[in-house]
Each structure stands twice: as structure tokens, then as C-alpha cells.
Chains A and B, each alone.
Chain A
Amino acid sequence: MKPRSFEYLRPASVDEAVEALARYGDDARILAGGQSLIPMLNFRLLEPLALVDIRHIADLSHIRLDGDMLEVGAAVTQNRLLSWPDLARHVPLLAIAMPWVGHFQTRNRGTVCGSIAHADPSSEIPLSLAMLGGEVVLQSPRGRRVLKADEFQTGMLSTAREADEMIVAVRFPTGSGKAAFREVARRHGDYAIVAVGAVSLSPSEILVGIGGAADRPVVRRYASNGGDLMSEIEALAWELETYEDLHASQRMRRDLVRRLAPAVISELRS
């Protein structure tokens, strides 16, 4: 499987990159790590006229603490963030969720922001961003804007990004509590069928996030010591829309939520 012909552009700056996007509109795609994009090109699920390679743009390669946010530039690979020594201290959820992102070999090239841009409903990084209430920084020739995670991801593989906008960075709130994360996939590292994360917000409150059970991440807050937490989770599992694909039926997804979520919550409590 070979991709269709396209124009390859390697802009030297974000300004040049967004100019190219403005010129091509929907016919251009940003190429960063390419670990989600290139399979789609090889399958010809996407046939853009131009690819705009942003890997070499210097001001996109930062990992930086900024107030109570951790900002990650669009050229930062998943393995680079994962090996950032302070990750577990500042964003514990990411530190435990990211080893589940793809494989060692794809994390070496795949970017953090690329995973956000791809917006797969079962992906770990968009799920973490949604759970923590993070932000996506977009730039276009018209300027910059910042969207909350839930404003950005609008559905299955779809986002609020305009055709002339690119993600320049993503911001994860720091200082969240202990976290737990698990998922089920056909093979470790393949796309999750269902992924579940939990974060303790305070001694009495937890956050539960579910990927792969709706067209985008589902995030709920619960009282952590309420005796009926497990029945609330059970109710949520039946409430979720879920979807069917090659890997799992709707019912299987529901059952995975019913089994994974209690396991993750008890891991959080342990």
C-alpha cells in the first residue's frame, strides 16, 4: 500500500506552516511523527494534496512548566515526554498512561500533540487531557486561540481545529493526585478497545475517565467513599453509548468498562 502523490513542504517556522495550511485548506495535513497519519495515507483513507512537516521547527520542541500547567510543544515525541524526569511528579496520570501509547518503536517518533490531533476515542493522551481538563493551543494566520480539551475534541476522529490552524502545544494541568490506568487491547500497544483512568482529586473525590466507550472520552466525578460508587459505575457502563468495530461489539465494550473501572478504582485506593 502506497500513499497517493502529495506535495512535501518543510516550513522553517510556525508562521510559514500556517500560511501553507491557509493556502491548501482542507487539502493539507500536518505531518509530525506520522504514526497515525502515515498508516491512513498508506491505506489511502486520506489523500491530501500537501503534507506540512513540522518536526524541524525549533520552537515546537519544548517541555516546559508554565504556572500550574505543563506545556508540551507539537514536535515533542511521546517517548521524550515519557522520559522527562519530572513527569511522574507533575502529571502522575500521564506518567502511568503513556507507556500504553502505541509501542516503544512508535512512541519514538509519534508526538504528544499528534495523538491529540488524531482524536481517536480510545487514545490514552486525549483521555488524559480530557480527565485533567487540559488545553490545546492552536495557531493560524489569524492568531492564536486556546481551547479546553472538551471544546477541542468534538467526536470520533474530529476536532474543532479549523483548516488553517495547527496545534502548536498542549497544556496539562499539574499537581493532580494519585492516578491509576488500565486498558484492554488485542496486543499491548495496539489501539485500546477500552481504556480507563482514575485520579484522586481530594480525599473524598475521584475522577474516572473512560476511552473507547463513546465517540470521545467520558469523564465523571464521584465521591470516593460513597458506598455505592461501584453501582454508579455499573449504571454508567449501561448508560454509555459505546460503538462496534472490528475489535469489539458494543456489549463487549460495556462489559470491559464494567470490569476495568472497578479494578482501576481499587488500584487507586490501594
Chain B
Amino acid sequence: MIEQKPKQRVTLTLNGRKVTGDAEPRLLLTDFIRHTLGATGTHVGCEHGVCGCCTVIIDGVAARSCLAFAVQMDGATIETVESLADEDGRMNALQEAFRRHHALQCGFCTSGILMSFTDFLRRNPEPSRDEVVDVLCGHLCRCTGYANIVDAVMDVVEAHAPPQRDIGAV
């Protein structure tokens, strides 16, 4: 027997824009972002917090969107991979570095990894290589072998380039 709970109205700021949708309490934030709001850059791998594909920035900190419910997000500010490139589709420094270093192959894991490092580099603009590896431990990538991802992030760190376009969200 499938018992549905009434939907609740959720209004949040997604990539600088105020958006609204209705969600049953059990709806995961991943599904809300992808299916209700239609921002499909955020990917879903495991749905239990292991792979990191679904990582987005919630109120300024990177977190797994499969481990949060949409109804918890009323009033929240969320940033997803769609916020990184500018309006003309020009990639930011971190994305460019991923391209240059071949830090992705299929790209399934990439949007989550980009959001983890967007948060991390804002708070720690000059991390060591070990610290970068530590953050990357929260992600699974089945293609790259990780080394190129670390190289790409370190490239941004060394260039002292601001890792993201400031969308004024945090």
C-alpha cells in the first residue's frame, strides 16, 4: 500500500534565482533539483552517500544532495554545477583546469567533484596536495584514476585563480 503524504511548498534560491516547487516529505533533494526544478547537471549514483556524484553547495557548504530532503531546503541557498560557467557558457578556472588536465572521461562524477572543490577552495584557497586528496576521498570516479583530478585542482591552486565566478550567493 502506497501512502502519500501531502506535498509541501518549497522555495529556495538555486544558482542565484528564486525557485519554487512542491515536494512530498520523502522526496530527496537530488530528485527535487533534477526532476522538479529541471537542473540535471547534478548526477545521482548511489543514493546513499557513498559516491559523491550528487554533491551540491547548500547554504555555503558542499554536501550530498541524496542525503537531504527537499522539504528541509525551504529558504535555503543552493548552488549546483550550472552556476560555474558564465552566461555565455565560458567555463570558470576550475572547469578549464579539468579540461586541460583530462580530469574527466565520462563526466558522471565531475559535477559533484567540481562543487566539492568550489566550496573547499573558497575556504582554503591554498591547500596542500594531501588536503586536496582528502577532499577527493569523498568521491568515486570510475574513469580517471584520480591523479588528473588532483593535478587539475592543484593547477588552480598554484595559479591563485579565483576558483569560481562569484554569484553573490554566500
List A residues at the B interface (Cβ < 8 Å): 1-8, 10, 31, 34-35, 38-39, 42-43, 51, 53, 55, 79, 99, 102-106, 108-109, 187-190
Contact = CB atoms under 8 A, between A and B. Distances in A.
B67 A39 contact: yes
Given A2-B28, A39-B49, A108-B119, 13 more contacts: A3-B26, A5-B26, A7-B25, A34-B68, A35-B67, A39-B48, A42-B28, A43-B48, A51-B25, A104-B134, A104-B137, A105-B52, A106-B138
A136 to B, nearest CB: 24
Listed residue (B4, B26, B61, B67) with the most chain A CB atoms within 10 angstroms of its CB: B67
Interface of B: 2-5, 8, 24-26, 28, 31, 47-50, 52, 55, 58, 61-64, 66-69, 71-72, 116, 119-120, 134-135, 137-138
**Could you tell me the dominant secondary structure of chain B's interface residues?**
mixed
A188 B135 CA distance: 10
B49 A38 contact: yes
9 contacts: A1-B47, A8-B71, A34-B68, A35-B67, A51-B69, A105-B138, A108-B61, A108-B62, A109-B68
A2 B66 CA distance: 10
A83 B25 CA distance: 32
B48 A42 contact: yes
A55 B69 CA distance: 13
A108 B25 contact: no
Nearest to A33: B67
Contact of A106 (B47, B49, B69, B119): B49
Given A42-B47, A42-B66, A187-B137, A104 B24 contact: no
